[in-house]
């Protein structure tokens, strides 16, 4: 297992925090105007003709969409701040994608469903309470900064959950499973916090 990290600490190219409203910067974070890359394993090579998106678990019927079907759903643009547990934050990032709520309208969850496990290529997962999955700014994003996602940032599709640490923003996302309780995903099993609120510094287990 390889872990790819392009940035471990700030340097002079990082913005000075005095330039912005400091209440936007969670405790322990520094700002950068670069876009670090961080993931476990290798960047998947994606064939869009074989790509699909699956919603299963506690739903009346499993749903599966092809890339063409998924991309035909209404999309929107958001500008949000993102916060990585490795301590960089990036303000006013621009994304385009399909709101998670748009997908949610197409499924019929059972009443027992409380959480989801989001899954990606190579078995990567991340867990979220349903109410956190369904926040207004959350997207299944396919564009960043006016261009298609770069492979290392999640091409063709990544989840965007900006109010939690960025490890919840699953790159190369392929679907999610509805559950009747919380189950740790990949980073959560490796010591990261189950929830991950940057403003409460929920970085690791026991914090």
Ligand X SMILES: Nc1nc2c(c(=O)[nH]1)N[C@H]1C(S)=C(S)[C@@H](COP(=O)(O)O)O[C@H]1N2
List interacting residues with ligand X (CB under 6 A).
36-40, 84, 120, 124, 153, 166-167, 169-172, 187
Contacts of 207 (CB under 8 A, 6+ apart): 193, 201
Q: Are 185 and 125 in contact (CB under 8 A)?
A: yes
Rounded to a whole number of angstroms, the minimum distance from the CB of residue 192 to ligand X is: 8
Cβ closer to ligand X: 10 or 36? 36
Cβ closer to ligand X: 47 or 108? 47
HEC profile of 110-177: CCCCCEEEEEEHHHCEEEEEHHHHCCCCCEEEEEECCEECCHHHCCCCEEECCCCCHHHCCCCEEEEE
> Whose structure tokens read 């301590």?
87
Cβ closer to Mo ion: 176 or 186? 186
- Name which of Mo ion, ligand X, none residue 36 binds, using a CB cut-off of 5 to 8 Å depending on partner kind: ligand X
Rounded to a whole number of angstroms, the minimum distance from the CB of residue 38 to ligand X is: 4
- Name which of Mo ion, ligand X, none residue 171 binds, using a CB cut-off of 5 to 8 Å depending on partner kind: ligand X
Rounded to a whole number of angstroms, the minimum distance from the CB of residue 93 to Mo ion is: 15
Measured from each CB, the residue nearest to Mo ion is 167
> Whose structure tokens read 């913005």?
15
Rounded to a whole number of angstroms, the minimum distance from the CB of residue 35 to Mo ion is: 13
Sign of CA dihedral 161, 167, 168, 173: positive
The CA distance from 132 to 134, in Å, is 5
- Name which of Mo ion, ligand X, none residue 95 binds, using a CB cut-off of 5 to 8 Å depending on partner kind: none
Structure tokens at 32: 């950068």
**Interaction site with Mo ion (CB under 5 A):** 38, 84-85, 167
- Name which of ligand X, Mo ion, none residue 124 binds, using a CB cut-off of 5 to 8 Å depending on partner kind: ligand X
- Name which of ligand X, Mo ion, none residue 37 binds, using a CB cut-off of 5 to 8 Å depending on partner kind: ligand X
Rounded to a whole number of angstroms, the minimum distance from the CB of residue 163 to ligand X is: 14
Structure tokens at 139: 């997207």
């Amino acid at each position: 297992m390889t872990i790819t990290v392009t940035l471990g600490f700030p340097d002079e190219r990082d913005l000075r925090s005095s330039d912005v409203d400091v209440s936007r910067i969670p405790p322990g974070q520094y700002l950068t105007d670069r876009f670090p890359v961080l993931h476990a394993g290798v960047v998947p090579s994606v064939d869009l003709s074989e790509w699909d998106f699956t919603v299963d678990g506690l739903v009346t019927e499993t749903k599966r969409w092809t890339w063409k079907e998924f991309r035909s759903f209404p999309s929107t643009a958001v500008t949000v701040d993102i916060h990585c547990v490795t301590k960089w934050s990036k303000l006013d990032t621009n994304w385009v994608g399909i709101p998670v709520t748009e997908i949610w309208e197409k499924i019929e969850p059972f009443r027992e469903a409380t959480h989801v496990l989001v899954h990606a290529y190579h078995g990567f997962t991340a867990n979220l309470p349903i109410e956190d999955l369904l926040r207004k700014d959350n997207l299944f994003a396919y564009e960043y900064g006016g261009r298609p996602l770069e492979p290392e940032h999640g091409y063709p599709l990544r989840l965007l959950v900006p109010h939690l640490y960025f490890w919840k923003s699953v790159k190369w996302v392929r679907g999610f499973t509805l559950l009747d309780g919380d189950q740790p995903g990949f980073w959560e099993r490796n010591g990261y916090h189950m929830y991950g609120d940057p403003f409460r510094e929920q970085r690791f287990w026991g914090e």
